[in-house]
Amino acid sequence: MIKPDAIDIVVPSFRLTEALLLNIIRLEKPAGFEVNTYIVADNPTAVIPEKLKELHLAGEIHLLVNEVNLGFSGTRNKGIRAGQAKWVLLLDDDIVPQPDLLKAYAAAIAQNDHALGFAGVTYFPEAINAATRALEINGSVHHFKLALYYPEITWAPTTNMMINREKLNPALFDTNLKAGGEDVDFFVRHWLQFNEKYQSVPGAAVTHPWHDNGAMQTRRMFRYGIAANQLAHKEPEKRYTYRDFTNTLETLLLLLFLFPAALFTGTLNIWLCLVVAVPLAEYLTNWFKAISIGKTGSPAVAFQLMWVKNCWEAGYLYDAIIGGRPGGFAKRIDMGFVKENPGSFRTNRWKIVKTLLLVILVVVAVCTVGNASF
């Protein structure tokens, strides 16, 4: 039986960092609400901190330990199914919540206790280096703060989101999405099923640290790219996909296939000019982006912008080829989910800038090579 005036906090954790988890466990409790905290350890070999054991034995928390690693989806599903509260608050294990987080959500519930769910805000610290500055500029952390800008949203990362158990699809998180994207899929499916978006609660705030202390996120972005291509071939997300111009890596792949033709037709010089011009135009475009959006002319930030973008696109392309989803080539997914069946070959200022730069670079290179040959 679902408990109406109750909140289940579900926290999947591999690290089981005691200090961080205690911040969540000791959140201020809103009046009139029963609060249960479910810490689900997704690490069968983890050493359980003594304090967590004590709280579990005292009945202050529910500590569940997976016998095998289930991943984020399976672990969250286990925590959700263990509780009975009407409201399920999903938090990550490395966030630092504001002490009044639950009170902010309780106030939102009092305003609309039939809502599909609520979206809190996840802040990141100030950028500490070129890598983190690039993540700010390219919008990688934007979705974490959507509740600041819109009264209702279609999805946000599971770092700080609340869902109504009465409107939960029994399938919960898709355990087949192992590279990521399970949060996008989960919230988008529920939004479309109930034709209802998530209500923003700007006052429900947490802070998330920079991943790996601000290191380059090569593997993470590559994995997110894989996840995006998987979503692009899955219902209902594939309704929001469209064909587009090839990106830098896709263009270079096409050029690789065209190498024999260039060799035998005597156009190898033009081919070489393109091979050099395509990534150079990509870098210069990101440099202009750093200047325009980030107000910095740092070459390091420009490189990090290019690196993050292309790692994501490399993961997307990798899954299209190796994952057996070749339809993902030159196919994009609108992660804003604005409308179904969006128009193909969409342009924006950065695509226009890159195209113009590419044309200029190729013309200059071809002329230079031609004059040198002469």
| CB-CB contact of 17 with 25 (8 Å) | no
Flag whether pLDDT at 373 surpasses 70: no
What whole-number percentage of the chain has pLDDT above 90? 94
* Mean pLDDT value of segment 240-249: 96
Report d(CA 8, CA 86) in Å as an integer.
Answer: 8
Instruction: Read off the pLDDT band of 374 (50, 70, 90).
Output: very low
**Which pLDDT tens digit goes with each residue over 56-98?**
999 999 999 999 999 999 999 999 999 999 999 999 999 999 9
pLDDT tens sequence across 312-366 = 999 999 999 998 899 999 999 999 999 999 999 999 999 999 999 999 999 887 7
* Structure tokens that stand for 289 in this block: 């982006």
| pLDDT for the residue 311 | 97
CA neighbours closer than 13 Å in the CB half-sphere of residue 326? 0
More confident residue, 46 or 61: 61
CATH 3.90.550.10 is right for the domain spanning 3-215: yes
**What pTM was computed for the model?**
0.93
| DSSP-derived secondary structure letter, 278 | H
Tokens of 47: 């050493």
- Confidence category of residue 368, pLDDT binned at 50, 70, 90: confident
Rounded distance between C-alpha atoms, residue 190 and residue 333, angstroms: 18
Instruction: Give the strand pairing for 34-41 and 3-13.
Output: parallel
Please give the Cα distance from 64 to 75 (Å, whole number): 9
According to CATH, where is 3.90.550.10 located in the chain? Answer: 3-215
What pLDDT score was predicted for residue 371? 57
SS3 assignment, position 258: coil
Distance from chain centroid for Cα 34: 31
pLDDT score for 370: 59
pLDDT confidence band for 367 (50 / 70 / 90)? confident
Closest CA to 155 of 115, 196, 125, 210: 196
pLDDT for the residue 266: 87
Would you say 92 and 11 are in contact if contact means Cβ atoms under 8 Å apart?
yes
> What confidence score (pLDDT) does residue 206 get?
98
